[in-house]
């Protein structure tokens, strides 16, 4: 559910900030899969820091599937809409890649370096990750069903909704379930119908979820939730207190009541949440890229560690909300109420964000680079009004 993000209208807008920022996305080398494959075949191996894009809704057979990319350097790369099924990444440097929601099933990562990688919602079903370095990686809602992790380094990884069903763990043991969101030690059994293939992620239609919610059920963690295309079945519904942690949601969520809900580590990019009630909700670690929260109520909500890149928050109520360690590149909080909010240590390395006409009374901006922020008649934490031309 896309919603066009509204950035500042002035000539010196956030896009100008990004262009003048030496670490902005505009400085990355953008590359298509076909070009990468051609240059790799010609002997090139260093593709560090690139933006690698495929076709988001292509019906064509993905170009890189089954290819040999052993020893490639894709460190710090950002990768979107590329299929990597059965690709050979052995001995590759994939450290600190940003690879949200990609398919790596049956790929070979033996002895690969994935240290610090963002692998949220990636599919590693039956992949070979033997002796791979995954230390410090974000594995929230990743799928490792049937994968080989023998000898892999999982030190300091971030878990939550991460499935290791029937995976061979670093010590050689066979996992019998999933690590649940918020409790990596809680293992539950999952049905494995076909011994030759790992189970699929559980999916649910909006109509079924509403029926079960009305019957008193609240725990829907780790599902794929979708509404009928163009039906807007969930708009305006009451889902207060629901647990959708670690879930992927493909639905219009305008005016939904999510007050007190557990939405930690949810994956809802390009979704319309305008007018929604998310007061006291847990959205920590959520992927909210290019979402619209215009006029939404997020008072006292926990958004710590969430990715809010290119999201729109015009007129939203974020009073007392926790936005510490969030990724705010390109986000627009114009006319938002951020009084008492915690914006400390936010990530704005790849571009600025807008706080035009926002209320920051009593907000915490410690550790956030405000030189990348657009202020215009903004009420600052000390009550002063600030305008900074960029």
pLDDT value, residue 183: 39
Three-state secondary structure call for residue 19: helix
Positions of CATH 2.160.20.80 in the chain: 1-22+202-390, 45-199
Q: Residue 91: is it exposed, middle or buried by C-beta count within 10 angstroms (0-12/13-18/19+)?
A: middle
In whole angstroms, give the CA distance from residue 66 to residue 295: 46
- How far is the first Cα of the chain from the last one, in angstroms, to the nearest whole number? 32
Minimal CA–CA distance to 340: which of 367, 322, 314, 313? 322
pLDDT value, residue 187: 35
DSSP alpha helices (H): ranges in the chain? 14-19, 33-41, 206-214
Q: What is the CATH number of domain 45-199?
A: 2.160.20.80
**Strand order, beta sheet including 30-32:** 30-32, 51-53, 78-80
Cα four-point dihedral sign 367, 344, 311, 56? positive
List own/partner pairs for 311-320 with CB under 8 A and 24 or more apart: 311/5, 312/3, 312/5, 312/6, 314/6
pLDDT value, residue 4: 37
Q: What is the CATH number of domain 1-22+202-390?
A: 2.160.20.80
Per-residue pLDDT of the chain (390 residues; tens, 9 = 90+): 333 334 344 434 444 433 343 334 445 577 888 888 888 989 998 888 888 866 443 433 467 888 999 999 999 888 877 889 999 999 999 999 988 888 999 999 999 999 999 998 899 999 999 999 999 998 888 889 899 999 999 999 988 778 888 899 999 988 876 554 443 433 333 444 455 555 667 788 999 999 999 999 999 988 889 876 556 789 999 999 999 988 889 899 999 999 999 999 898 988 999 999 999 999 998 999 899 999 999 999 999 999 998 999 999 999 999 999 999 989 999 999 999 999 999 988 766 899 999 999 999 999 999 988 999 999 999 999 999 865
């Amino acid at each position: 559910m896309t919603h066009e993000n509204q950035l500042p209208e002035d000539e010196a807008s956030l896009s100008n900030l990004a262009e003048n920022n030496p670490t902005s996305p505009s400085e990355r080398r953008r590359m298509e899969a076909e070009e990468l494959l051609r240059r790799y075949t010609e002997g090139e191996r260093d593709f560090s820091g690139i933006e690698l894009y495929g076709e988001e809704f292509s019906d064509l057979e993905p170009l890189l599937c089954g290819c040999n990319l052993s020893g490639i350097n894709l460190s710090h790369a950002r990768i979107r809409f590329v299929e990597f099924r059965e690709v050979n990444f052995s001995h590759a440097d994939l450290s600190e890649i940003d690879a949200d929601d990609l398919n790596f099933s049956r790929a070979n990562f033996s002895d690969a370096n994935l240290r610090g990688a963002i692998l949220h919602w990636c599919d590693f079903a039956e992949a070979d990750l033997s002796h791979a370095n995954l230390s410090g990686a974000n594995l929230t809602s990743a799928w490792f069903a049937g994968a080989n992790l023998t000898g892999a380094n999982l030190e300091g990884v971030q878990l939550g909704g991460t499935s290791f069903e029937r995976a061979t763990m670093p010590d050689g043991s066979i996992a019998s379930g999933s690590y649940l969101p918020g409790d990596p030690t809680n293992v539950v059994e999952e049905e494995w119908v076909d011994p030759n293939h790992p189970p699929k992620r559980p999916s649910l239609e909006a109509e079924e979820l509403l029926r079960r919610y009305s019957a008193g059920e609240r725990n829907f963690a780790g599902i794929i939730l979708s509404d009928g295309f163009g039906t807007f079945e969930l708009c305006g519904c009451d889902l207060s207190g629901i647990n959708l942690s670690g879930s992927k949601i493909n639905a219009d969520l305008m005016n939904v009541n999510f007050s007190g809900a557990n939405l930690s580590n949810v994956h809802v990019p390009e979704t319309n949440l305008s007018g929604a009630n998310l007061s006291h909700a847990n959205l920590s670690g959520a992927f909210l890229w290019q979402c619209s929260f215009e006029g939404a109520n997020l008072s006292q909500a926990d958004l710590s560690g969430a990715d809010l890149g290119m999201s729109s928050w015009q007129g939203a109520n974020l009073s007392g909300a926790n936005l510490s360690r969030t990724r705010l590149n390109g986000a627009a909080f114009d006319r938002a109420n951020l009084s008492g909010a915690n914006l400390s240590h936010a990530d704005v390395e790849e571009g600025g964000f807008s706080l035009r006409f926002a209320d920051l009374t009593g907000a915490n901006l410690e550790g956030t680079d405000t030189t990348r922020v657009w202020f215009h008649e903004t009420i600052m934490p000390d009550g002063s009004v600030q305008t900074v031309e960029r």
